[in-house]
């Protein structure tokens, strides 16, 4: 805490100060209110500081104190189930200390320093052994479902002097001493700090092999994302972005979910905070909150911390990845993050390129998404970070810069459609505009784990939908009467795919989560029906006779009727259908004869 | 620090006053100015350095003599004095009386910018408000603590609709009515008077706080007005435990004032010349609505946003829609058919509806009926489109039923009188009357049980 500087100018969240000897990226405290800020530019002895809190009533002449380290995150037990603001202040503690509103300049420790954790040391480590960064020191059972692995900070190496034995420790206590060649003895605790803007190192990258399952048919079956993949959900307001993200957070088969509410509504986070503790994780059977971590910079919170919140979230994700977990980070919304960049760039007088965004928008987006991936960690385990970013294009225009650049970077694009949402078709993921580069890899998994015919049926369903789209144009010009019986059957069956398969009501108890097995059973049922019906139509059985089958309206509802554990009912329905269709066929054959 | 006073400014243009070599002025400080005629103006510091201070003057900088001026830095932000006496009063944008009555005197004064509410202090809004308007209650239900804007256009009856919501809103099974904070920005005298008379004729004027900055008032004051109004709303809701309904009209004029100032300051323009921080700025206002844990009161907000050229993708409605919890969109087409309220159903939405309706709140079938009405109306509009090309006689039987459904939906469900206060049960019953005109097996959004209970067999197929 040396080198005090002086404020020269205040322009909204940007402050210029005389601050010789400061490093770019270093954190500072400003004025009597002790506001937190970060140095983002240097010009001789002048530093440009972006301030995470409102600068109202700050004045030139007040002092600046450097903190000596860049914006960093505390990593250790006690993170899960927590909710933090954009610079990792725990919001629960803030409320306990300061009431309902967030005051300025408050400094609270991130992780509870006094809580005791039951630590089990890594039995393979012996004193005198060579230690590298990222190595496993021991374990703490953080929640019933999540084991927190205590890792040596990635930037350390040296000789292990001492490792604590099994027992209860708090975050102040030393659990290991390491003799480093350069800095002598370093004491390690259950937590360490890491700068958020620097990706955490890993041993090497792997290709993604398993899909990240979400229980949502339009995502898993039609536009899959891999564990370690990057996806985007663009959509105009009211298209259901938040709802879809919450569904993913709820049902995904990842070990840890990090949800970053970046410049979005306060009530949405409350919704998660109130509902998640009551929901159970479908895989571990424990409360969902035990595997969830929230970062909240709502739209009324200071804009500069919004920019930081995304990096905070992804660093947390990497930390859990390094422990060998599969982590999903959901960022809602990356557009607000880009706008925060734009706001700061504008105040810096940087040249705007597209819609006022600075020229480095694309590279910042790319380097953020690049932090996703499936890796071999420094401790030799396999872990992954999957990144899913919501995008809020102005006016729903997908050609705007943020959507456009994001599209170039990501592998899976879940485009939300306003017309579908207006007709209350949810999830409103468009089967025309969405894409996934991960189908091939996912197909291997589905074919091995669920059914070898997955890819074939999936393509049939997509072709059926696009054929119907073509026919819809004809109908709009000349009416449905102009269609041939074949075409009419295609249109009707595409409707069945939409209603019986793609639509999925998040609020429905039975259908909110659909297991991969049920996803395939429904797909198989509907595609089977389409193909058999097609044969009958070719054999001149009138379409109206097919449509009059009472089984048809049951098929439309069977996603809600049969749960994930009632697949044999779906198979039985398929058989029943086959019999009905054969009967119908015979009847018409006889009539002909 | 002591107040500072200066007799000279170095430049003034576009509502901004520049002073050189005024050291140590706080950012955001309130400034009091007296011009050469002795008229008082108000300002706020928007950039401060030892060399240059930039002050935004709420009343503008016309007719200012730079060498004959008093500038006082008051060493405080804009604050609003608060007491229960604010009810029944009329103020300007900075909380000075406009009703010829004395100013509010209170030791309790709060910064009009407020402080951001800690998200975990929020309570999720879930209490259904019955507005008596079917298009809202049935399909886009409002809940206590929600912010639900009306997206409108010039000449559309948004004021009438907002006034009807204010008049009729109540909680089922509760007698307590809302107190109203009414903020008028840039609207005409006639529009403000319409609300005033409406409040007066309903005898609620004593429960209303009005803030007005009309079309001919200085526009920069509009930037402070909604903040002052929300400061009062927060006081009424969270200090006095009242349920507050805030009407902000018209947010488009607010945003235009923001653009005017941003342009003068030289901020980088983004879409349609609005500054990049329009989203954050609007959010600072809208996000002050809501409920707070362990507090009895609430702030429900109905902002009016007129869409320039009826364009919903214009930055003001667009960014509003990203912040608010849904939107009620008005349709010029329906209005031209003399249908009131002309609510354009497909793009309208209430995000908080799901937790405020259903078994214990309204009626068990409500969520599915709303879903079904949306789906059926969307289908019916498609059919109507087709009918306009190939003629209704060419349509299959089912499609003709949909056409009939669309007409009935607009004439019986949407349309209602300006004083007609329908109960939610009446609204749902009308819905079932209409749905019963469609065959049961196309109604896939409702359950078999719903159909058995509410679908009228005889009037059906």
Q: Is A124 exposed, middle or buried (0-12, 13-18, 19+ CB in 10 A)?
A: exposed
Contact B287, B319 (CB under 8 A): no
Of A416-420, A546-550, B222-226, minimum mean pLDDT range: A546-550
A41 belongs to a structural domain: yes
Among A87, A237, A334, pick the best mutation site for testing chain B contact (most B Cβ within 10 A): A237
Q: For residue A10, what are the domain limits?
A: 5-70
Q: Are residue A462 and residue A584 in the same domain, yes or no?
A: yes
Q: Are residue A386 and residue A475 in the same domain, yes or no?
A: no
- Give pLDDT, residue A343: 85
A424 belongs to a structural domain: yes
From residue A476, alpha-carbon distances to A472, A480, B326, B377, B395 in Å are 6, 8, 31, 17, 12
A413 belongs to a structural domain: yes
CA dihedral for A550, A556, A559, A560, sign (positive or negative): negative
- Give pLDDT, residue B265: 86
Q: Pick the residue from chain B with its C-alpha nearest to A61.
A: B24
Cα–Cα distance between A94 and A82 in angstroms, integer? 12
Q: Per mean pLDDT, which of A320-324, A423-427, A538-542 is the most reliable?
A: A320-324
- Give pLDDT, residue A351: 86
CATH, range B4-76: 2.40.30.30
CATH number of the domain enclosing A40? 2.40.30.20
- Look at B325 and A265 and tell me if their CB atoms are within 8 Å: yes
Cα–Cα distance between A518 and A508 in angstroms, integer? 16
User: Where residue A401 falls among pLDDT bands split at 50, 70, 90?
Assistant: very high
Q: Are residue A431 and residue A522 in the same domain, yes or no?
A: no
- Look at B313 and A397 and tell me if their CB atoms are within 8 Å: yes
- Look at A101 and B349 and tell me if their CB atoms are within 8 Å: no
A448 belongs to a structural domain: no
End-to-end CA distance of chain A: 99
Among B75, B151, B276, B346, pick the best mutation site for testing chain A contact (most A Cβ within 10 A): B276
User: Where residue A358 falls among pLDDT bands split at 50, 70, 90?
Assistant: very high
Cα–Cα distance between A138 and B22 in angstroms, integer? 60
Numbered ranges of CATH 3.40.50.12240 in chain B: 80-355
Count other Cβ atoms within 10 Å, centred on residue A549. Answer: 16
A197 belongs to a structural domain: no
Q: Are residue A130 and residue A172 in the same domain, yes or no?
A: yes
Helices (H), A260-381: 266-275, 303-322, 334-347, 361-369
Cα–Cα distance between B176 and B285 in angstroms, integer? 26
User: Where residue A66 falls among pLDDT bands split at 50, 70, 90?
Assistant: very high
Exposure string (b/e) for A320-336, b if CB count within 10 Å is 16 or more? bbbbbbbbbbbbbbbbb
Distance of residue B312 Cα from the nearest chain A Cα, in angstroms: 7
Q: Are residue A227 and residue A325 in the same domain, yes or no?
A: yes
Q: Are residue A472 and residue A419 in the same domain, yes or no?
A: no
Q: Are residue A55 and residue A154 in the same domain, yes or no?
A: no
- Helix/strand number for chain B, H first, E second: 12, 22
Q: Which fold has domain B80-355?
A: Rossmann fold (3.40.50)
Q: Are residue A486 and residue A369 in the same domain, yes or no?
A: no
Q: Are residue A306 and residue A334 in the same domain, yes or no?
A: yes
CATH number of the domain enclosing A580? 1.10.1140.10
CATH number of the domain enclosing A140? 2.40.50.100
- Give pLDDT, residue A3: 53
Cα–Cα distance between A323 and A488 in angstroms, integer? 55
Q: Is the CB of residue B354 less than 8 Å away from at least one CB of chain A?
A: yes
Last residue of a domain, one of A437, A471, A486: A437
Which residues in chain B are closer than 8 Å to A395, comparing Cβ atoms?
313-315, 318
- Tens digit of each residue's pLDDT, chain B (461 residues): 567 788 889 999 889 999 998 989 999 999 999 999 999 999 999 999 989 999 999 999 999 999 999 999 999 999 999 999 999 999 999 999 999 999 999 999 999 999 999 999 999 999 999 999 999 999 999 999 999 999 999 999 999 999 999 999 998 877 777 999 999 999 999 999 999 999 999 888 999 999 999 999 988 999 999 999 999 999 999 999 999 999 999 999 999 999 998 998 888 888 899 998 899 999 999 999 999 999 999 999 999 999 999 999 999 999 999 999 999 999 999 999 999 999 999 999 999 998 899 998 999 999 999 999 999 999 999 999 888 888 888 888 999 999 999 999 999 999 999 999 999 999 999 999 999 999 988 898 898 899 999 998 644 44
A163 belongs to a structural domain: yes
A29 belongs to a structural domain: yes
- At B106, give phi and psi (nearest 5°): -160, 150
Of A320-334, A467-481, B35-49, minimum mean pLDDT range: A467-481
Q: What is the pLDDT of residues A242-254, one digit of tens each?
A: 899 999 999 999 9
The SS3 of residue A53 is: coil
* Closest to A194 measured CA to CA, from A45, A52, A314, A295: A314
- Give pLDDT, residue A278: 86
Q: Is the CB of residue B307 less than 8 Å away from at least one CB of chain A?
A: no
What total number of domains does chain A contain? 4
A93 belongs to a structural domain: no
Cα–Cα distance between A495 and A423 in angstroms, integer? 13
Mean pLDDT for A144-163 is 92
Cα–Cα distance between A500 and A522 in angstroms, integer? 8
Q: Are residue A332 and residue A398 in the same domain, yes or no?
A: yes
- Look at B313 and A100 and tell me if their CB atoms are within 8 Å: no
Q: Are residue A343 and residue A387 in the same domain, yes or no?
A: yes
Q: Are residue A379 and residue A320 in the same domain, yes or no?
A: yes
- Give pLDDT, residue B191: 93
Q: What is the pLDDT of residues A94-122, one digit of tens each?
A: 999 999 999 888 888 899 999 999 999 99
Mean pLDDT for A136-149 is 92
The interaxial angle of helices A303-322 and A361-369, nearest 10 deg, is 30
Tokens linked to A97:
């200390």
- Give pLDDT, residue B292: 96
Q: Pick the residue from chain B with its C-alpha nearest to A9.
A: B49
Numbered ranges of CATH 2.40.30.30 in chain B: 4-76
């Amino acid at each position: 805490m040396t080198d005090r500087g002086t404020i020269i100018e205040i322009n909204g969240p940007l402050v210029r100060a005389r601050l010789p000897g400061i490093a770019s990226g270093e954190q500072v405290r400003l004025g009597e209110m002790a506001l937190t800020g970060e140095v983002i530019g240097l010009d001789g002895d002048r530093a440009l500081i972006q301030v995470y809190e409102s600068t109202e009533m700050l004045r030139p002449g007040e002092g600046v104190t450097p903190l000596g380290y860049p914006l960093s995150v505390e990593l250790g037990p006690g993170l899960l189930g927590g909710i933090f603001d954009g610079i990792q202040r725990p919001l629960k503690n803030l409320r306990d200390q300061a009431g309902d509103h967030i005051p300025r300049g408050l400094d609270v420790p991130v992780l509870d320093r006094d809580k005791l954790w039951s630590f089990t040391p890594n039995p393979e480590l012996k004193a005198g052994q060579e230690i590298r960064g990222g190595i496993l020191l021991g374990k703490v059972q953080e929640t019933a479902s999540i084991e927190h692995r205590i890792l040596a900070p990635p930037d350390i190496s040296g000789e292990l002097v001492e490792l604590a034995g099994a027992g209860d420790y708090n975050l102040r206590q030393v659990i290991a001493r390491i003799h480093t060649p350069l800095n002598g003895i370093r004491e390690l605790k259950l937590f360490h700090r890491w700068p958020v803007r620097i990706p955490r190192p890993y041993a090497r990258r792997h290709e993604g092999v398993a899909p990240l399952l979400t229980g949502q048919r339009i995502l898993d079956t039609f536009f899959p994302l891999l564990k370690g993949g990057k996806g985007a959900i663009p959509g105009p307001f009211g298209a259901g972005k938040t709802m879809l993200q919450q569904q993913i957070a709820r049902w995904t088969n990842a070990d840890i979910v990090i949800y970053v509410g970046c410049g979005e509504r306060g009530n949405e986070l409350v919704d998660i905070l109130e509902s998640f503790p009551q929901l159970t994780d479908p895989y571990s059977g424990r409360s969902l909150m035990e595997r969830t971590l929230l970062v909240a910079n709502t739209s009324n919170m200071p804009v500069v911390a919004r920019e930081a919140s995304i990096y905070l979230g992804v660093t947390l994700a990497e930390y859990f990845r390094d422990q060998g977990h599969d982590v999903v980070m959901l960022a809602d919304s990356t557009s607000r993050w880009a706008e925060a960049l734009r706001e700061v760039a504008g105040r810096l007088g940087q040249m705007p390129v597209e819609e006022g965004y600075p020229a480095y928008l694309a590279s910042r987006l790319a380097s953020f998404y690049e932090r996703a991936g499936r890796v071999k960690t420094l401790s030799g385990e396999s872990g992954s970070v999957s990144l899913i970013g919501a995008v809020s294009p102005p006016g729903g225009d997908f050609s705007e810069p943020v959507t456009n650049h994001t599209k170039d970077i990501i592998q899976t694009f879940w485009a939300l459609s306003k017309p579908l949402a207006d007709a209350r078709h949810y999830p409103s993921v468009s089967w025309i505009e969405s894409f996934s580069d991960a189908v091939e890899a996912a197909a291997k998994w589905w074919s091995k784990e669920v059914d070898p015919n997955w890819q074939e049926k999936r393509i049939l369903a997509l072709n059926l939908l696009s054929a119907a789209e073509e026919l819809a144009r004809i109908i709009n010009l000349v009416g449905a009467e102009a269609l041939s019986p074949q075409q009419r059957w295609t249109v009707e069956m595409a409707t069945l795919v939409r209603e019986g398969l793609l639509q999925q009501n998040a609020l429905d108890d039975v259908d909110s989560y659909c297991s991969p097995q049920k996803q395939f059973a429904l797909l198989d049922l509907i595609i089977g029906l389409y193909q058999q019906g097609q044969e009958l139509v070719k054999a001149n059985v009138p379409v109206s006779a097919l449509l009059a089958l009472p089984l048809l309206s049951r098929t439309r509802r069977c996603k809600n009727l049969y749960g994930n554990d009632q697949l044999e009912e779906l198979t039985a329905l398929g058989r029943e259908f086959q019999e009905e269709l054969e009967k119908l066929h015979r009847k018409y054959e006889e009539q002909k004869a | 620090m002591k107040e500072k006073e200066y007799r000279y400014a170095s430049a003034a243009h576009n509502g901004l006053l520049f002073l050189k070599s005024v050291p140590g002025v706080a950012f955001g400080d309130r400034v009091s100015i007296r011009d050469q005629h002795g008229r008082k103006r108000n300002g706020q510091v928007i950039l401060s350095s030892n060399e240059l201070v930039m002050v935004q003057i709420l009343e503008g900088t016309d007719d200012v003599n730079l060498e004959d001026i008093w500038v006082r830095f008051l060493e405080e932000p804009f604050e609003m004095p608060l007491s229960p006496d604010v009810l029944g009063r009329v103020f300007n944008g900075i909380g000075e009386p406009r009703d010829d009555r004395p100013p509010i005197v209170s030791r309790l004064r709060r910064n009009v910018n407020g402080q951001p509410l800690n998200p975990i202090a929020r309570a999720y809004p879930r209490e259904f408000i019955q507005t008596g308007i079917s298009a809202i209650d049935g399909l886009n239900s409002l809940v206590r603590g929600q912010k639900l804007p009306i997206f409108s256009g010039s000449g559309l009856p948004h004021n009438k609709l907002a006034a009807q919501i204010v008049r009729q809103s109540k909680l089922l099974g509760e007698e307590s009515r809302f107190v109203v904070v009414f903020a008028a920005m840039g609207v005409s005298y006639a529009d403000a008077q319409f609300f005033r008379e409406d409040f007066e004729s309903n005898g609620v004027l004593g429960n209303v706080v009005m803030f007005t900055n009309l079309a001919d008032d200085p526009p920069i004051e509009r930037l402070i007005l909604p903040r002052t109004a929300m400061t009062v709303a927060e006081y009424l809701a969270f200090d006095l435990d009242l349920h507050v309904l805030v009407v902000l009209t018209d947010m488009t004029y607010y945003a235009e004032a923001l653009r005017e100032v941003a342009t003068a300051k030289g901020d980088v323009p983004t879409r349609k010349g609005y500054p990049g921080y329009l989203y954050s700025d609007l959010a600072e206002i809208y996000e002050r609505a809501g409920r707070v844990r362990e507090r009895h009161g609430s702030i429900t907000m109905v902002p009016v946003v007129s869409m320039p050229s009826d364009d919903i993708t214009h930055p003001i409605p667009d960014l509003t829609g990203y912040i608010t919890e849904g939107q009620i969109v008005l349709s010029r087409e329906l209005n031209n058919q003399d249908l009131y309220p002309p609510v354009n159903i497909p793009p309208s939405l209430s995000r908080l509806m799901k937790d405020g309706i259903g078994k214990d709140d309204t009626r068990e079938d409500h969520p599915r009926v709303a879903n079904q009405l949306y789906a059926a109306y969307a289908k019916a509009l498609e059919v109507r489109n087709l009918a306009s090309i190939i003629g209704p006689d060419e349509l299959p039987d089912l499609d003709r039923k949909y056409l009939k459904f669309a007409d009935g939906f607009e004439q019986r469900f949407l349309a209602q009188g300006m004083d007609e206060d329908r109960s939610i049960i009446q609204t749902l019953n009308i819905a079932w009357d209409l749905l019963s005109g469609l065959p049961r097996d196309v109604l896939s959004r409702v359950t078999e049980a719903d159909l058995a209970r509410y679908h009228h067999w005889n009037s059906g197929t």
